[in-house]
Structure 1
Amino acid sequence: MKVLLVGDYSSAHLNLYRGLMRNGISCDIVTSGDSWKKIDGNITVNSSYSGFVGKVISAIKPFYMLSKKEINNYDVIQFVNPCFLYGSAKYSRMLFNAKFKQHPNKFIMACGDCSIFWAASKKELTYGPFDDWLKFDLQRQTCNWQSDEYIEYCNYFYENMKAIIPVMHEYDVGLRNSYHSEKVLTPVPLMVCETTLTPPSQTRYQDNKLVVFHGLNRPGFKGSHYIKPAFDIVRSEAIGSKFKFVIDGKLPLAQYLELLNSASVVVDQANSYSLGMNGVYSLGLGQKVLGGAEPESLAMLNELKSPIVNIKPDIEDIAQRLRETLSEMTPEKTINEDSLEFFYKHHEAKKNSLLFLERWMQ
């Protein structure tokens, strides 16, 4: 089998690519780098130039690079998102129609924002990132995904897919309550290839203190405005004096993972029912993780409980969960074996990539 993965989002496709390659599956991944994260595939289409020249090259390069590939030689094409390389619906439709539409086996990994997430998922979830992303990140009343242009394009895109494979409860619940519900397959959990991870650090200290870390990336979407005040509260208390609280991010993936590996406790995000990629990386690094672990998310994994400490978008809730977590930490135990066990059971890419093979062959 030969597979083409198109686009990436927080390295979700990169890790699937590496899992497939470890299983001997021929695979290519075409990416635009996912902004500052610099997540490159073996076919990279973004420009190294800035300004107008860079924009022109970035628009033309996908057509040029893909013209050198015989698309029909791939058995499966999977997209990461309807806007799979860049954020423009108009450009995405043009590239999709020119290069991919006629292929018979097109799938989408339901990962990241889309119009259905903003419509159907928002109705089904008790809480989510929607209002906070608009208020803190975009500072707008609405986003592109809510516009008629993007809604029409997303529906067009999903109509042209053979099937949809969600990777988180948030996307699954919306798609199953949309016009495209009959195309939704059993979800596959987000994955990280263990070759992406450096060995868990045995000396996770800064200034002789264990590190509590929160990654800064789309702070409104992730709920950083709940997490930062919770850090401030716990830092001022007796238990917090034994730990160093770090908030940092917006780094290329390789640098970010190096920073992440210095922590013993990681707070992923507060506006999500499920762990995102940052939380999955943290499990694979043997860290204690606070983030999305709602019952609906665990049900997708056929679990009733997990080592993840569930948090909600509430400052005091996060502060209390932090107090409880930090009270259990000791300087001698910086590697969390329960997190590692849960990672290898549910999120390791060599195993999970085979679940995608099963879905593609249904």
Structure 2
Amino acid sequence: MKILLLGEYNSSHYTLKEGLEKLGHDVLVVGHGDGFKKRKVDIKYTLKYTEGFSGKLKSVLYRLFGFDITSMDVKKQFESFKDRLTGFDVVQLINETAFNTTPETEKTLLEFIFKNNKKVFLLSCGTDYVSVKYAFDKKFKYSILTPYFEKKGSKKDFWHALMYLTKPYVDLHTYVYNNIQGVLASDLDYHIPLLKNEKYLGMMPNPINLEKLNFIDLKVTDKIVIFHGINEKNYYKKGNDIFEAALEILKKKHPNKIEIITVKSLPYDAYIKAFDAAHILLDQVFAYDQGFNALEAMAKGKVVFTGAEQEWLDYYNIEKDTVAINAEPDAEKIAKKLEWLILNPKIITKISKNARAFIEKEHHYVAVAKLYLEKWESKP
């Protein structure tokens, strides 16, 4: 089968490609590499005019004349490789704005994709209309919009999510759904909002290439090493402020028992190596399930503070605090859970092994690729 994967978040599509290729399929991944993370893709385009002086110029031009120079440039780049994006049996969009352009440009590029390929599917991953609307209506007990409701930033700071509720993006959402065979979700944070959607085909666990991620046996001989990776653009969205507050509590109570490593906005190749020495990794707060970074850390045997809500425990039939630690939006609760681990290092070792076993069972990239194939082939 010939498969086109459009767009990339972390390495969800490229890892899926690796699994599909193991099964004998021909796969092409197109994307911009997920920004500063510099993830690998087969055809890479760039998002120009997004920062500094050129970013300000872009904003002025958009306000004055209504055109977006980044989208115009992506469209120009698209013209140079669009002939390679035809004749596929299956196309999957990483989300509703797979090309990261304005809704108008997105429709133009997607029209070409819909006309020149057989079946197109949508992956609910990152932000999209359905998940953002669910969060905005406060149907989750907390979500990526909780910091916005708590006034931790302006509307502009959360525009990357709120924009999906504006009319142009709602229209794009309708256009995409009218042209796809079905939609899939990458984890429970997207699965739950889609449960009553007639186009929904089910949840596909994020694929993790275990051949590239060796398990690191956690030996506790001295201090417990805690790793905190900060994405500066998503500081409040990920709950990094809450993690930092928890670490301050811990430093006062157990200064001689811990070592803290903090990094900011590292490219992927540097990030994946930076936490090798850690026992515990602080990933994100406002989630019910794990994202790609957390899963890769778990594959290496780290004890990860991330989304591990009751819904996740029920879905996978897991006991609390045995595979991952649910990071609630409460610094004191996180600090207490960290303290529990620091004072009981044997539990760290146990969770480490359980985490690796869980990824092997539920997220192995070849097994996940088979699940995708089943869903894609289920639609005529």
TM-score, normalised on structure 2? 0.84
Corresponding residue number in structure 2 for 1:3 = 3
**Structure 1 residues 87 and 126 mapped into 2: Cα distance closer, same or farther (>3 Å)?**
farther
The answer to whether structure 1 residue 281 and structure 2 residue 281 are counterparts is: no
SS of aligned partner of 1:20: helix
The answer on whether the counterparts of 1:121 and 1:175 sit within 8 Å (CA) in structure 2 is no
Aligned residue type for 1:225: D
TM-fit CA distance, 1:289: 1.4
Q: How many residues align?
A: 354
TM-fit CA distance, 1:323: 1.1
Output the CA distance in 2 between the equivalents of 1:49 and 1:108.
27
Corresponding residue number in structure 1 for 2:337 = 321
Note the aligned Cα RMSD (angstroms): 2.8
TM-fit CA distance, 1:313: 0.8
Corresponding residue number in structure 2 for 1:272 = 287
Equivalent of 1:351 in 355, 364, 367? 367
Structure 1 residues not aligned, in runs of 5+: none
TM-fit CA distance, 1:342: 0.8
**Structure 1 residues 116 and 332 mapped into 2: Cα distance closer, same or farther (>3 Å)?**
closer
TM-fit CA distance, 1:335: 8.7
Output the CA distance in 2 between the equivalents of 1:343 and 1:133.
32
Show CA shifts across 1:77-132 (max 9, x none): 00101111214222211110123355341111111101211113443211111142
TM-fit CA distance, 1:210: 3.4
TM-fit CA distance, 1:203: 7.7
Output the CA distance in 2 between the equivalents of 1:47 and 1:231.
35
Corresponding residue number in structure 1 for 2:63 = none
Show CA shifts across 1:266-320 (max 9, x none): 1211111111111101111111112111121233335455411112111111111
Output the CA distance in 1 between the equivalents of 2:195 and 2:84.
37
The answer on whether the counterparts of 1:129 and 1:222 sit within 8 Å (CA) in structure 2 is yes
TM-fit CA distance, 1:62: 2.1
The answer on whether the counterparts of 2:207 and 2:364 sit within 8 Å (CA) in structure 1 is yes
**Structure 1 residues 291 and 319 mapped into 2: Cα distance closer, same or farther (>3 Å)?**
same
TM-fit CA distance, 1:24: 2.3
**Structure 1 residues 299 and 89 mapped into 2: Cα distance closer, same or farther (>3 Å)?**
farther
* Correspondences of 1:1-362 after superposition (within 5 Å): 1-46=1-46, 51=54, 55=70, 57-69=73-85, 71-72=86-87, 74-101=88-115, 103-123=117-137, 124-132=139-147, 135-136=151-152, 140=156, 143-177=162-196, 181-197=197-213, 199-201=214-216, 209-217=223-231, 218-238=234-254, 240-303=255-318, 305=320, 306-329=322-345, 336-362=352-378
**Structure 1 residues 273 and 49 mapped into 2: Cα distance closer, same or farther (>3 Å)?**
closer
**Structure 1 residues 85 and 195 mapped into 2: Cα distance closer, same or farther (>3 Å)?**
farther
The answer on whether the counterparts of 1:136 and 1:219 sit within 8 Å (CA) in structure 2 is no
The answer on whether the counterparts of 2:281 and 2:303 sit within 8 Å (CA) in structure 1 is yes
Structure 2 residues not aligned, in runs of 5+: 59-68
**Structure 1 residues 298 and 188 mapped into 2: Cα distance closer, same or farther (>3 Å)?**
farther
SS of aligned partner of 1:3: strand
Show CA shifts across 1:197-232 (max 9, x none): 2x34458899x6332112212111111111110011
SS of aligned partner of 2:203: coil
**Structure 1 residues 314 and 358 mapped into 2: Cα distance closer, same or farther (>3 Å)?**
same
The answer on whether the counterparts of 2:327 and 2:334 sit within 8 Å (CA) in structure 1 is yes
TM-fit CA distance, 1:57: 4.6
Percent sequence identity over matched residues? 24
SS of aligned partner of 1:28: strand
Aligned residue type for 1:82: E
Output the CA distance in 2 between the equivalents of 1:283 and 1:244.
20
Output the CA distance in 2 between the equivalents of 1:28 and 1:343.
25
Aligned residue type for 1:310: N
Output the CA distance in 1 between the equivalents of 2:240 and 2:108.
36
**Structure 1 residues 109 and 196 mapped into 2: Cα distance closer, same or farther (>3 Å)?**
farther
The answer on whether the counterparts of 1:264 and 1:334 sit within 8 Å (CA) in structure 2 is no
SS of aligned partner of 1:254: helix
SS of aligned partner of 1:4: strand
**Structure 1 residues 83 and 310 mapped into 2: Cα distance closer, same or farther (>3 Å)?**
same
TM-score, normalised on structure 1? 0.88
The answer on whether the counterparts of 2:228 and 2:283 sit within 8 Å (CA) in structure 1 is yes
Output the CA distance in 1 between the equivalents of 2:291 and 2:6.
20
SS of aligned partner of 2:253: coil
Aligned residue type for 1:280: L
Output the CA distance in 1 between the equivalents of 2:236 and 2:6.
27
**Structure 1 residues 98 and 331 mapped into 2: Cα distance closer, same or farther (>3 Å)?**
closer
Output the CA distance in 1 between the equivalents of 2:126 and 2:148.
13
SS of aligned partner of 1:182: coil
* Worse overlay, 268-277 or 47-56: 47-56
SS of aligned partner of 2:100: coil
**Structure 1 residues 302 and 97 mapped into 2: Cα distance closer, same or farther (>3 Å)?**
farther
